[in-house]
Amino acid sequence: MSNNNLKVALVQHSNSDNLEDNFEKSLSGIRQAATQGAKLVVLQELHRSLYFCQTENTDLFDLAEVIPGPSTNELGELAKELNIVIVASLFEKRATGLYHNTAVVIESDGSIAGKYRKMHIPDDPGFYEKFYFTPGDLGFEPIQTSVGKLGVLVCWDQWFPEGARLMAMAGAELLIYPTAIGWDPRDDKDEQIRQRDAWMIAQRAHAVSNGVPVISVNRVGHESDPSNQSEGIQFWGNSFVAGPQGELLAHGSEEQEEILVVEIDQNRSESVRRIWPYLRDRRIDHYQDLCKIYRD
């Protein structure tokens, strides 16, 4: 097989209540990644702002923006200048009173290659996303780019094997998860380790089950709870890239802002799927009950 390597970068950083500073961190990270040869750069979930879903506050809908809009325009100019593909994560204002948690893929010519609206929306203490985001309606459709067919999902989606499988079945060559996940500081260390390990195991399993690399980008730093009902969220970083057998190709730190750059051998998916042919052996004639909530 011919050489088919792709250099990818993950931009992991902390956020503040200064939108311009946050966006500048993302843009600076993209530039640094490009100088290291990255052709695909992935940003963390909702990288423009604090993770605002710790409380339910109607004023925070002001953070939303249209797509195309100011952020996609600036990212498009940068993508064109650097000749790279960018995966960004934005709070999308689709219409008055209708908002999505949306990942946007910017092509290397500056155009929007496509977008994905987060399908699984959590509603847990400190993660009140159902208040802000309408569930996505674009389905699990990969986005074709000059660096391959990207299966872009978002954060909570990463726990669901169905989304990963459907992306892979539609030809996704990479699974990509912009993320904002962290600990409740009140949890003890053992519980924190279990949660972080489960997060990584679940996504590495998607790589194994589908024979494709997985890219997951998380933020770092502590963000306080504006309502003072909790001790906020300590985002745990650990951004990583896994190969098609779940092997770790790159792994970020727990607390540091950093840019991870790693080369992915896209031919390995072909090799791995030949020895582990899960798609061949699926028993679709017996999976009808997967379309039920539960088998009572």
First to last CA, the chain: 49
Q: Is 176 helix (H, G, I), strand (E, B) or coil?
A: strand
Is residue 24 part of the annotated active site? The answer reads no
- Comparing CA positions, the residue from 9, 248, 250 lying closest to residue 147 is 9
Residue in 7, 25, 45, 223 annotated catalytic? 45
Spatial contact of 247 and 270, defined as CB atoms under 8 Å apart: no
CA distance 278 to 257: 37
Token pair, residue 289, equals 């009950």
- Comparing CA positions, the residue from 69, 108, 90, 94 lying closest to residue 26 is 90
Integer-rounded Cα Rg, in Å, for the chain is: 18
Is residue 118 part of the annotated active site? The answer reads yes
Residue in 118, 129, 173, 223 annotated catalytic? 118
Residue in 92, 93, 155, 173 annotated catalytic? 155
Residue 215 exposed, middle or buried by CB count within 10 Å (0-12, 13-18, 19+): buried
Is residue 77 part of the annotated active site? The answer reads no
CA distance 105 to 150: 9
Spatial contact of 179 and 217, defined as CB atoms under 8 Å apart: yes
How many residues are given for the chain? 296
The residues assigned a catalytic role are 45, 118, 155
